[in-house]
Amino acid sequence: MTQSRTMEFNSLRVHFLEGYIQNIILVEQEGRLLLFDSGCINDVKRIQRYCQENLHRSPTDIKLTAVTHIHPDHAGGAVCLRKRFGIPIAAHKDVDRWYRGMSGLLQHQLDCYLATVVAVRNRRRLEQIHYRRRINPDYRLEDGQKLPFFPEWKVIHVPGHIAHDLAFYHEKEQVLYTADLICDVKGQPQLPLPIVFPQKMAESYDRLGSLPVRAILRAHGKPIITENSAEIFAKMRQLLNQPPTPFVQRIWKLSNHSPEIKKLDYK
Ligand SMILES: [Zn+2]
């Protein structure tokens, strides 16, 4: 059986599946299923198995894959899930720009390589995680929109980690899915790797810190239950002021090839 745990809210049951290098979050809402990020391409089998063995449902019951950004551990399985099970994809309207052209191709290869390094460091068996660098979303999202089929979830554009990152926010339940924005190293909150646009990242943390949030769901690390989410995001913002270690600098250097970086002219 796929390793998992669940969390209950008034109108939601959230399933956390252990993916190849990240959590996969499957939200059950009035019997309907919403997938937050698709995991890596090799996580498709884990999602399928979980639906069938744990929920006794078909993966075709998943109404939507809502993708936060194009990295391998978030968008890697999305196209495969659509092809096999007919699950539509919602993502930022410009999500496919990040890996465009030759420099985008290079960045995509590097990101697949870096994801594999993470898998090896986590003592995972080596598996193929290469995926199509364009996901061609069925629903092109913008800041402030609501998720298709799940209008309780609001779309928030939170650039910084890369350019087209999204977070998803359930206002009534005060639940926020932040994907990579608060990572975890040995139980401590950590910045994502890389941060391509530090100034935008600071603004994104400020924005998330202004929302009433009692549960933060994450792709890397356990969910955070809190009565003071503003403080958590303020701390994340402070971490941006620390000078990057040589290791972090190396990752940043490997992450500055997307053609979007020059075009957007973010700081
Ligand atoms: Zn990422």
The pLDDT value recorded for residue 1 is: 54
Q: How far is the centre of ligand 1, averaged over its atoms, from the C-alpha of 116 (Å)?
A: 13
Kindly give, in sequence order, each residue whose CB lies less than 8 Å from that of residue 141, ignoring residues fewer than 6 positions away. 90, 91, 92, 93, 147, 155, 166
Q: How far is the centre of ligand 1, averaged over its atoms, from the C-alpha of 181 (Å)?
A: 8
Q: What is the CATH number of the domain that holds 24?
A: 3.60.15.10
Q: How far is the centre of ligand 1, averaged over its atoms, from the C-alpha of 127 (Å)?
A: 19
The pLDDT value recorded for residue 186 is: 87
The pLDDT value recorded for residue 264 is: 84
Q: Is residue 12 part of a domain?
A: yes
The pLDDT value recorded for residue 4 is: 65
- The distance between the two most distant Cα atoms of the chain, rounded to a whole number of Å, is 49
SS (H, E, C) 100-130: CHHHHHHHHHHHHHHHHHHHHHCCCCCCCCC
| CA 153 – CA 136 distance, rounded (Å) | 21
The pLDDT value recorded for residue 3 is: 60
Q: How far is the centre of ligand 1, averaged over its atoms, from the C-alpha of 148 (Å)?
A: 23
Q: Is residue 90 part of a domain?
A: yes
pLDDT, mean over the chain: 95
| CA 44 – CA 266 distance, rounded (Å) | 34
Q: How far is the centre of ligand 1, averaged over its atoms, from the C-alpha of 42 (Å)?
A: 17
Residue listed under structure tokens 């052209």 = 101
Q: How far is the centre of ligand 1, averaged over its atoms, from the C-alpha of 56 (Å)?
A: 31
Q: How far is the centre of ligand 1, averaged over its atoms, from the C-alpha of 66 (Å)?
A: 14
- The number of domains in the chain is 1
The pLDDT value recorded for residue 2 is: 58
Q: How far is the centre of ligand 1, averaged over its atoms, from the C-alpha of 43 (Å)?
A: 16
The pLDDT value recorded for residue 267 is: 55
Q: How far is the centre of ligand 1, averaged over its atoms, from the C-alpha of 150 (Å)?
A: 24
The pLDDT value recorded for residue 262 is: 85
Q: How far is the centre of ligand 1, averaged over its atoms, from the C-alpha of 69 (Å)?
A: 7
Contact 89, 139 (CB under 8 A): yes
pLDDT in tens, 183-227: 998 889 999 999 999 999 999 999 999 999 999 999 999 999 999
Q: Is residue 67 part of a domain?
A: yes
Q: How far is the centre of ligand 1, averaged over its atoms, from the C-alpha of 133 (Å)?
A: 14
The pLDDT value recorded for residue 115 is: 94
Q: How far is the centre of ligand 1, averaged over its atoms, from the C-alpha of 115 (Å)?
A: 10
Kindly give, in sequence order, each residue whose CB lies less than 8 Å from that of residue 37, ignoring residues fewer than 6 positions away. 22, 24, 25, 65, 66, 67, 68, 73, 74, 75, 179, 219
The domain in which residue 95 lies consists of: 4-256
Q: How far is the centre of ligand 1, averaged over its atoms, from the C-alpha of 80 (Å)?
A: 19
The pLDDT value recorded for residue 266 is: 72
Say which DSSP state 43 is in. G
Q: Is residue 100 part of a domain?
A: yes
Q: Which residues of the chain have pLDDT under 50?
A: none
Q: What is the token pair recorded at 40? A: 């890596």
